[in-house]
A = this chain, B = another copy of it.
Amino acid sequence: MSDDNSHAVRRSQFFLPTTKETPSDAQIASHRLMLRAGMVRQSSAGIYSWLPLGFRVLRKIEKIVREEQNLAGAQELLMPTIQSADLWRASGRYEDYGKEMLRISDRHDREMLYGPTNEELITEIFAGTLRSYRDVPKTLYHIQWKFRDEVRPRFGVMRGREFYMKDAYSFDLTSELGRVSYNKMFIAYLRTFARMGINAIPMRADTGPIGGELSHEFIILADTGESEIFCDQDLIDMDVMASEVDYAVDLQPIVDKWTGLYAATDEMHDEKKFEANVPEGKRVCARGIEVGHIFFFGTKYSEKLGAKVNLQNGDERAVQMGSYGIGVSRLVGGIIEASHDEEGIIWPESVAPFRVGIINLRQGDNACDQSCNDLFIKLAEQGVEVIYDDRSERAGGKFADMELTGIPYQVIIGPKGVEKGVLEFKNRKTGEREEFSSDALFSRLGIN
Binding site for B on A (CB under 8 A): 3-6, 12-15, 17, 38, 41, 43-45, 47-52, 55, 58, 66-68, 70-71, 75-84, 87, 99-100, 102, 104, 106-107, 110, 112, 114, 121, 124-125, 128-130, 134, 138, 140, 145, 147, 149, 151, 161-162
- The number of times this chain is found in the oligomer is 2
Contact in complex: B70, A55 (CB < 8 Å):
no
Contact in complex: B130, A17 (CB < 8 Å):
yes
Residue of B nearest to A101 (CB): B107
Contact in complex: B104, A104 (CB < 8 Å):
yes
Which of B50, B81, B125 is A41 in contact with, Cβ under 8 Å? B125
Contact in complex: A52, B71 (CB < 8 Å):
no
CB of A350 to closest CB in B, whole Å? 13
Residues of B within 8 A of A41 (CB): 125, 128-129
Residue of B nearest to A392 (CB): B134
Which of B80, B102, B134, B147 is A47 in contact with, Cβ under 8 Å? B80
Residue of B nearest to A130 (CB): B17
Given contacts A45-B110, A50-B78, 12 further A-B contacts (CB under 8 A): A4-B67, A6-B75, A15-B129, A44-B82, A52-B75, A52-B76, A55-B77, A55-B78, A80-B162, A81-B162, A104-B114, A107-B151
Contact in complex: A4, B70 (CB < 8 Å):
yes
Q: Measured between alpha carbons, how far is A386 from B282 in the docked complex, in Å?
A: 50
Residues of B within 8 A of A82 (CB): 44, 47, 102, 114, 147, 161-162
Residues of B within 8 A of A107 (CB): 99-100, 149, 151
Secondary structure call for the A interface: mixed
CB of A96 to closest CB in B, whole Å? 16
Residues of B within 8 A of A70 (CB): 4-6
CB of A51 to closest CB in B, whole Å? 5
Residues of B within 8 A of A134 (CB): 12
Instruction: Name 30 interchain pairs, CB-CB below 8 A, sorted by A.
Output: A4-B71, A15-B130, A17-B130, A41-B125, A41-B128, A43-B80, A43-B83, A43-B84, A43-B121, A43-B124, A44-B110, A47-B80, A47-B83, A48-B80, A49-B79, A50-B79, A51-B125, A51-B129, A52-B76, A52-B77, A55-B77, A55-B78, A81-B81, A81-B145, A82-B147, A100-B107, A102-B106, A106-B161, A107-B151, A145-B145
| Contact flag A71-B121 (CB < 8 Å), given A77-B51, A78-B55, A82-B114 | no
CB of A301 to closest CB in B, whole Å? 15
Q: Measured between alpha carbons, how far is A138 from B16 in the docked complex, in Å?
A: 12
Contact in complex: B44, A84 (CB < 8 Å):
yes
| Contact flag A58-B77 (CB < 8 Å), given A128-B41, A129-B17 | no
Contact in complex: A49, B80 (CB < 8 Å):
yes
Contact in complex: A75, B14 (CB < 8 Å):
yes
Residues of B within 8 A of A104 (CB): 102, 104, 114
Residues of B within 8 A of A147 (CB): 82
Residues of B within 8 A of A161 (CB): 82, 106
Residues of B within 8 A of A44 (CB): 82-84, 110, 112
